């Protein structure tokens, strides 16, 4: 179907170009206007489309010409096999949560909140102001924009226990997203070939970052109240590890929040073992029935390296995170960050600071809490109605996901295919376990687009589950 005059002209010219030798000059804009009774703007729009498609090229002051098409031929990249050698570990190209799907799919596999849950007006206004500022022409310090460093430090300081020293702006490193930060942290604090303890299940990106660095992961089982602290202490003693990566608040993928008792015991173990906790507060802004309570606010001796991202809550286009570390650990992480990224885009930092500094930011977060609660409960009701075989171990007090256990023996790969055939995208559990899976699970994102389709999603999942079990 042709939707405009310019698209119609593109089709006409494509047919003409297909029959013309390379280097043939196209009629001038004036000629095309007269021949097809179109405006100059419409003709120019069609020509720009053909240039973008690589079919023609413009030579300023001369005219527009048909481009020569390269002859298709097979390429031999076999030499690269020897040059590259055997990969240390085969890494996935695109994680299921990062896939872009057709609009007619129900997307429960995504790792990001829907556009409706973002502070769109604040973000667009912040970008407009940043475009008019000096930040578009300047680089920033390696550790980040001082005002943004101060904001991250002040946010954590608000939750510090009485009697503890608050972090300073100097303790903060601004990163181009938390994923980049994980690589720098793991290299600086752990190092290739050394062990690191990690919750199981946990964020797939942390497992990926550890694999790229060459860190040896030691899984620690974690439940609705947090990790098994006895196993955690034994693992520190058995392996000699000096770091533990975890999500104390609204864990990805389970949504669990550590109990106060578990939090205190973990801090005791860290102090006794002389170890670090890498606390990934990825869902700081996504509390529902509870607020994030960082362990970094409960100690000031540098045992907790605190990572807090704005990417999911401000905008996926604003890849900015703050890392708070004290002592030599901070300097080592900064050195690695400089080697990897040099510095974070000044305009992106300015946008992030602008958004979170607005009074409307806190208003947005209060509204977000209510919206997430409604979406979460809607998806839970749908699962209860249509998928009685699914077990929800925990109603998450925050975060973006439900962690659903399916009956033992469920063929998750087949289930995924059955769902996709019915235009439902889900995320099976394998990538969230650093070792073998402890059961058959799905992570379902209730913050994605079109919550009105959640009931249909539950129905499709139930049908696909029963079909896959046949």
Listing DSSP states for 111-167 in one string gives SS--GGGS-HHHHHHHHHHHHTSGGGG----TT--HHHHHHHHHHHHTTPPTTSPPP
| CA 414 to the chain's CA centroid | 26
pLDDT above 80 (res 362):
yes
Higher pLDDT, 139 or 65: 65
Average pLDDT (61-89) is 77
List, as one string, the DSSP characters of 424-447: EE-EESGGG-SSS-SSEEEEEETT
Q: Which long-range contacts (CB under 8 A, 24 or more apart) does 301-304 make?
A: 301/271, 301/326, 302/326, 302/327, 302/329, 303/267, 303/270, 303/271, 303/275, 303/276, 303/277, 304/270, 304/276, 304/277, 304/279
Q: Which of 12-26, 56-70, 355-369, 377-391 is the least confident region?
A: 56-70
Average pLDDT (171-192) is 93
pLDDT grade for 95, boundaries at 50, 70 and 90 = low
Contact 287, 271 (CB under 8 A): no
**Phi, psi torsion values for 441, nearest 5 degrees:** -130, 160
State pLDDT tens for residues 426-466. Answer: 988 778 898 888 889 999 999 998 999 999 999 999 999 98
pLDDT grade for 39, boundaries at 50, 70 and 90 = very high
| CA 212 to the chain's CA centroid | 17
Q: How far is residue 1 from each of residues 4, 7, 55, measured CA to CA in Å? A: 9, 10, 21
Contact 431, 207 (CB under 8 A): yes
The rounded distance, in Å, linking the Cα atoms of 151 and 353 is: 8
Q: How far is residue 35 from each of residues 6, 24, 28, 39, 367, measured CA to CA in Å? A: 14, 18, 11, 11, 56
Average pLDDT (230-252) is 96
- Single out the residue of 309, 264, 305, 307 nearest to residue 400, CA to CA: 309
Contact 68, 23 (CB under 8 A): yes
The rounded distance, in Å, linking the Cα atoms of 132 and 121 is: 17
DSSP code of 193?
A: T
**Residue 290: what pLDDT?**
95
Contact 171, 153 (CB under 8 A): yes
- Single out the residue of 125, 145, 143 nearest to residue 135, CA to CA: 145
Q: Which of 10-19, 184-193, 279-288 is the least confident region?
A: 10-19
Q: Which residues pair with 306 in a beta bridge?
A: 279, 324
pLDDT above 80 (res 87):
no
pLDDT grade for 53, boundaries at 50, 70 and 90 = confident
pLDDT above 50 (res 378):
yes
What is the largest distance, in Å, between two alpha-carbon atoms of the chain?
84
Locate 129 and state its tokens: 């102001």
Contact 123, 351 (CB under 8 A): yes
């Amino acid at each position: 179907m042709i939707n405009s005059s310019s698209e119609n002209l593109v089709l006409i010219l494509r047919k003409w170009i297909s029959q013309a030798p390379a280097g043939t000059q196209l009629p001038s804009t004036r000629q095309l206007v007269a021949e097809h009774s179109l405006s100059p703007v419409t003709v120019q729009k069609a020509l720009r489309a053909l240039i973008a498609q690589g079919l023609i090229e413009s030579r300023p002051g001369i005219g527009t010409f048909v481009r020569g098409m390269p002859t298709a031929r097979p390429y031999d990249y076999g030499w690269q096999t020897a040059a590259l050698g055997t990969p240390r570990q085969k890494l996935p190209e695109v994680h299921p949560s990062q896939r872009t799907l057709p609009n007619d799919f129900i997307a429960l596999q995504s790792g990001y909140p829907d556009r409706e849950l973002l502070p769109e007006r604040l973000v667009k206004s912040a970008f407009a102001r940043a475009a008019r500022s000096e930040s578009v022409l300047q680089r920033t310090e390696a550790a980040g924009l001082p005002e943004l460093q101060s904001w991250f430090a002040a946010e954590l300081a608000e939750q510090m226990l009485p009697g503890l020293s608050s972090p300073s702006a100097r303790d903060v490193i601004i990163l181009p997203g938390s994923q980049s930060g994980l690589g720098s942290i793991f290299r600086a604090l752990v190092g290739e070939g050394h062990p690191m303890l990690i919750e199981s299940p946990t964020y797939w990106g942390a497992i990926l970052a550890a694999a790229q660095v060459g860190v040896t992961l030691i899984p620690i089982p974690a439940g609705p109240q947090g990790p098994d602290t006895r196993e955690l202490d034994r693992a520190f003693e058995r392996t000699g590890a000096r770091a533990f990566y975890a999500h104390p608040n609204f864990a990805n993928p389970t949504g669990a929040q550590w109990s106060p008792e578990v939090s205190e015991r973990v801090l005791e173990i860290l102090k006794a073992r002389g170890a670090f906790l890498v606390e990934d507060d990825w869902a700081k802004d996504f509390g529902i029935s509870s607020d994030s309570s960082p362990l970094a606010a409960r100690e000031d001796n540098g045992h907790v390296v605190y990572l807090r991202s704005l990417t999911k809550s401000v905008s996926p286009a604003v890849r900015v995170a703050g890392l708070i570390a004290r002592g030599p650990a901070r300097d080592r992480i900064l050195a690695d960050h400089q080697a990897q990224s040099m510095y974070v885009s000044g305009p992106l930092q300015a946008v992030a600071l602008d958004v979170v500094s607005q009074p409307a930011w806190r208003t947005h977060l209060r509204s977000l809490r209510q919206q997430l609660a409604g979406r979460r409960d809607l998806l839970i009701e749908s699962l209860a109605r249509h998928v009685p075989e699914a077990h929800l171990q925990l109603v998450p007090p925050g975060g973006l996901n439900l962690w659903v256990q399916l009956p033992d023996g469920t063929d998750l790969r087949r289930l995924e295919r059955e769902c996709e055939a019915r235009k439902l995208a889900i995320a099976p559990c394998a990538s969230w376990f650093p070792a073998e899976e402890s059961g058959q699970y799905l992570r379902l994102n209730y913050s994605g687009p079109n919550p009105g389709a959640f009931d249909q999603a539950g129905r499709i999942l139930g049908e696909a589950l029963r079909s896959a079990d046949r």
